[in-house]
Amino acid sequence: MNGCEADHEAPLGTVETRSLSTVKSLAAATERLITAVSNLKSEPPPFSSGIVRFQVPIDQQIGALDWLHAQNDVIPRCFFSPRSDTGRPELLQDLAMASESVNGSSDCNPVSVAGLGSAVYFRDHVPFSHDHWRSIRRFLSLNSPLIRAYGGLRFDPNGEVGVEWEQFGAFYFAVPQVEFVEFERSSMLAATVAWEDELSWTLQDAIESLEETMLQVSSVIVRLKRESLGVSVVSKNHVPSEGDYHPSVDTALEIIKAEDSPLSKVVLARSSRIITDTDIDPIAWLARLQCEGQDAYQFCLQPPGAPAFIGNTPERLFYRKHLGVWSEALAATRPRGDSEDSDLELERDLLTSPKDDLEFSIVRENIREKLSAICESVVVKPPKTVRKLARVQHLYSQLAGQLRREDDEFDILTTLHPTPAVCGCPVEEARLLIKQIETFDRGMYAGPVGFFGGGESEFSVGIRSALVENGLGALVYAGTGIVSGSDPSSEWNELELKISQFTKTLEHEPALQPIN
């Protein structure tokens, strides 16, 4: 059922979560859900539209990615894991606590969420609009915080769509039919039905579709060790090639340096097709990347009949909890050193580089201005520091503000995306130049990827990402910011560094270990 086709102004008859008693095993949780869904047939809610979530807590922690890896890979699937570096941003704590005292709720935060199928999905081939957002919000409620719509948007909704991205539309979101939620010490299995008589999708239709999906859900989970993947790279083909990339950077620099040009930065990206000796399992690849990404978001988004878009991105676009909103500036890159001394030397070089300070300042100030347009006040802390990841380090700053209205969430998304870190500044001039120079479709690369929820929403920036195609290897994406002082060879080397976490994780055979 495509929720975009319904009347977005008409409220649903019911939005509810039914929590069942805790069980000891995944198999017991599956049986309990099957019974609950069956009982819904005999005692249906008296509404012509609605969404009902059944959830069963499990007194055992099981990895959501392990659960997803055990499932049928033909069913549409999604996965989202927030960053685990600081839990929720320190700069936002006071705002979040103030919001909770007003709204009277405090949500538990999953470690990661995996989903199969779609109780309701939202997809269109025209740019994401306020009406589309309202269509999604109909199915969400503060009283059902774990009913969430996971998905993402294209980087450029008006750009020409490549065949590899056709099934994603201009945007794609879904509330999973079957969902596995991993918490710090426990787990949860959930099943959701959504119906809309107006769309000729009745409660009976929704229940039958869910039952069909649940019949394919496996309760036998095999823990996927993250050491290796067991795939060899046969070839890599870059678009643009290095020979074409250098002139593109030179062209961008000429425009940036022109006296009458408003452009101060543009991000030029590259698509690298990797051909391997065997098909790549996107979930196993994501598990391997997860080892390097404890301080990053991991995500997987795979609509029906589409390739899997996976990512290990360090960058949060925004996190909203009630009226509090938090974002960050992340720009400029250095590799990590092979010793403590060399790492500190690279850090000092990054902090003192005029070119990198310019690139970072453009990003930070642009985000500050955008947040100021929708918030009562904006705090920036610290003005500039270094954020260290497994293979690279970046200049970094946090920004937080208080929204004027909770319904301004659509404005958060459309105001912050795209950031100068993935597009340039000013945005429209940079986007126009990108369209002129780049000869491939970015799709959802560098677009917002995350979820909308009743009490909170969170979106990452879909960088450090790949599109995994059945039998065709994968397309790996990376970009680099071009400002005055940029050098084409150095920028090309930065692209190589950014995709290294993908290419270097396709090496040896993974070990599987049963979960008791």
How would DSSP label each residue in 346-369? Answer: HHHHHHH-HHHHHHHHHHHHHHHH
Calpha distance 418→432 (Å, rounded): 13
Query: Would you state the pLDDT for residue 227?
Result: 61
pLDDT in 10s for each residue of the chain, 516 residues: 999 999 999 999 999 999 999 999 999 999 999 999 999 999 999 999 999 999 999 999 999 999 999 998 889 999 999 876 544 455 555 554 444 443 333 346 899 999 999 999 999 999 999 999 999 999 999 999 999 999 999 999 998 999 999 999 999 999 999 999 999 999 999 999 999 999 999 999 999 999 999 999 998 887 876 666 778 888 899 999 999 999 999 999 999 999 899 999 999 999 999 998 888 899 999 988 887 666 789 999 999 999 999 999 988 999 998 889 999 999 999 999 999 999 999 999 999 999 999 999 999 999 999 999 999 889 999 999 999 988 889 999 999 999 887 777 898 999 999 999 999 999 999 999 999 999 999 999 999 999 999 889 999 999 999 999 887 789 999 999 999 999 999 999 999 999 988 888 775 544 444 443
Counting every residue, how long is the chain? 516
Same domain for 208 and 241? Answer: no
Q: Final residue of a domain: which of 216, 248, 265?
A: 216
Same domain for 42 and 158? Answer: yes
Calpha distance 100→103 (Å, rounded): 5
Q: Is 125 exposed, middle or buried (0-12, 13-18, 19+ CB in 10 A)?
A: exposed
Same domain for 150 and 73? Answer: yes
Q: Exactly one of 182, 196, 265, 494 is catalytic; which is it?
A: 265
Proportion of the chain in helix, strand, coil states, percent, rounded to 5? 30, 35, 35
Same domain for 388 and 444? Answer: yes
In eight-state DSSP terms, residue 105 is -
Query: Would you state the pLDDT for residue 507?
Result: 59
Query: Would you state the pLDDT for residue 99?
Result: 45
Tokens for 53? Answer: 């979530």
Query: Would you state the pLDDT for residue 378?
Result: 93
Calpha distance 221→451 (Å, rounded): 26
Same domain for 202 and 237? Answer: no
Q: Exactly one of 164, 315, 359, 456 is catalytic; which is it?
A: 315
Backbone angles phi, psi at 213, to 5 degrees: -70, -40
- Which range marks the domain in which residue 371 is found? 233-280+310-506
Q: Is 106 exposed, middle or buried (0-12, 13-18, 19+ CB in 10 A)?
A: middle
Whether 456 is in a domain gets the answer yes
Backbone angles phi, psi at 318, to 5 degrees: -165, 155
Query: Would you state the pLDDT for residue 389?
Result: 86
Query: Would you state the pLDDT for residue 515?
Result: 45
In eight-state DSSP terms, residue 488 is H
Whether 226 is in a domain gets the answer no
Whether 296 is in a domain gets the answer no
Amino acid at the residue 173: F
Same domain for 410 and 490? Answer: yes
Same domain for 192 and 248? Answer: no
Calpha distance 131→136 (Å, rounded): 9
Same domain for 33 and 154? Answer: yes
Long-range contact set of residues 260-263: C-beta below 8 Å, sequence gap at least 24 = 262/426, 262/429, 263/424, 263/425, 263/426, 263/429, 263/430, 263/433
Calpha distance 97→103 (Å, rounded): 10
CA quadruple 406, 411, 414, 420: dihedral, nearest 10: -90
CATH of the domain at 328: 3.60.120.10
Same domain for 272 and 345? Answer: yes
Whether 134 is in a domain gets the answer yes
Helices (H), 281-402: 282-292, 340-352, 354-372
Same domain for 253 and 130? Answer: no
Calpha distance 380→250 (Å, rounded): 34
Same domain for 187 and 335? Answer: no
DSSP string spanning 25-92?
SHHHHHHHHHHHHHHHHHS--S-SEEEEEEEEEESS---HHHHHHTS-TTS-EEEEE---SSSS-GGG
Whether 482 is in a domain gets the answer yes
Contact 263, 423 (CB under 8 A): no
Same domain for 276 and 397? Answer: yes
Whether 239 is in a domain gets the answer yes
Q: How many domains does the chain have?
A: 2
Contact 172, 42 (CB under 8 A): no
Whether 6 is in a domain gets the answer no
pTM here? 0.92
Query: Would you state the pLDDT for residue 262?
Result: 94
265 part of the active site: yes
Q: Final residue of a domain: which of 216, 243, 259?
A: 216
Whether 298 is in a domain gets the answer no
Query: Would you state the pLDDT for residue 448?
Result: 97
